[in-house]
Amino acid sequence: MTFPARSCSLVGRFADPRIAESLAALLPHLLDRGVRVRVSADAQLRDERVTRLPEAQLAAGADLVIAIGGDGTLLHAARLAAGHGVPLLGVNRGRLGFLTDVMPQDMLASVDLALAGELQQDSRPLLAARLDSAAGASAQAFALNDVVMQKHDTGRTLDFETRINGTYVNTHDGDGIIVASATGSTAYALSCGGPILEPSLAALVIAPICAHTLSDRPIVVGADSRIEITLLERPGTRAHVICDGALLGALAPHDRLTVTTSGERITLLHPPGHDYYTLLRSKLHWGRGSFER
């Protein structure tokens, strides 16, 4: 990122009244500072002062990407930014906000600090998912939080195998499995009983979804691990693979899903005073008793 930032891309569902409210304050604030504002060509925004681009091109050439919404919006922005080296600032207009940690009342002050290069930078690795079908086709995607293989449009459970670095680990019976980064340990994997990993920890969480064996528990492995998941034959088996909420593709019996840590990284920008444990206490409602500091 070059400073001062002169080009900023905005990502969000601008038709949402809450996001439109933040945008109404942010847009003139940026334009008054001589910042070129870029939005998706199909964004529902009536302002001729912005530059409209295909969404896939928003990160290329930008000095800063601002995601306005919930964590899902920031995850979408992270996919757009992958490979472009542009930092992300998340303005929280969602419900939880582990990643979008700038509150609306602090938005303009935080944006000014971001434009000047004075916010805390936090580099996070991306996961790389590769789906190889038995027929020879393949598909790939990045994920900041997690890669999920789960049953699709059926009440039947799935039978599948996992291997780590080529070594057989287990044959599972359940609704699916999650491979989460340390960043994503507080997302879907947490609801499946997975642990919370400090974001800088070089580790991955593998968490079964609704396993039919109580001993089939989440495990933590090194971030350099190669995790392979293969769906087994079973009548009515239908599964799909989702990367940060976006569909990668369908998984059929004998297809293989491989998840590794990518060489690509995303830089998140945090407001002054950001503290991960304060964030956990706030979002998970820890320390609400008489001993709260």
- Domain assignment of residue 228, yes or no: yes
| pLDDT 10s digits, 60-107 | 999 999 999 999 999 999 999 999 999 999 999 987 778 998 999 999
Q: What is the pLDDT of residue 228?
A: 98
**Helix (H/G/I), strand (E/B), else coil: 283:** helix
CA 33 from centre of chain = 30
Q: How would you class 204 by CB atoms within 10 Å of its CB: exposed for 0-12, middle for 13-18, buried for 19 or more?
A: buried
Q: Is-above-0.85 flag for pTM? A: yes
Q: Is the pLDDT of residue 180 over 60?
A: yes
Per-residue pLDDT band for 135 (boundaries 50, 70, 90) equals confident
Q: What are phi and psi of 41, to 5 degrees?
A: -60, -30
In a domain, 211, yes or no: yes
* 114 and 142 both lie in a single domain: no
Query: Are 192 and 141 found together in one domain?
Result: yes
pLDDT tens digits for 238-247?
Answer: 899 999 999 9
Same domain as 137, residue 67: no
DSSP 8-state symbol, 212: S
Q: Could you give the C-alpha distances from 168 to 163, 227, 237, 282, in angstroms and in order?
A: 4, 10, 22, 39
**101 and 30 in one domain?**
yes
Considering the domain architecture, whether residues 135 and 239 belong to the same structural domain is answered as: yes
Mean pLDDT of 207-218: 95
2, part of any domain: no
8 Å CB contact between 20 and 14: yes
**How far apart are alpha carbons 160 and 175 in whole angstroms?**
10
Do 97 and 73 sit in the same domain of this protein? yes
Same domain, yes or no: 170 and 79? no
Helix, strand, coil tally for the chain in percent (to 5): 20, 40, 40
| Residue 290 is assigned to a structural domain of this protein | no
Residue 52 domain flag: yes
Dihedral sign for Cα atoms in the order 48, 107, 80, 265:
positive
Q: What is the pLDDT of residues 142-177, one digit of tens each?
A: 999 999 999 987 778 999 999 999 999 999 999 999
Domain containing residue 155: CATH number = 2.60.200.30
Residue 289 lies in a domain: no
For this structure, is 275 an active site residue? no
Domain holding 200, by residue range, is 126-264
Instruction: Give me the pLDDT at residue 289, please.
Output: 63
Which band of pLDDT confidence, cut at 50, 70 and 90, is reported for residue 2?
low
Do 150 and 75 lie in a common domain?
no
Q: State how many domains the chain has.
A: 2
pLDDT bucket at 3, cuts 50 / 70 / 90: low
Whether residue 39 sits in one domain with residue 168: no
Mean pLDDT over 126-153 rounds to 94
Selecting among 71, 101, 146, 255, the annotated active-site residue is 71
**DSSP string for 139-154:** EEEEESSEEEEEE-SS
Give residue 293's pLDDT: 52
Please indicate, yes or no, whether residues 164 and 82 belong to a single structural domain of this protein.
no
Give the pLDDT confidence score for residue 234 in this predicted structure. Answer: 84
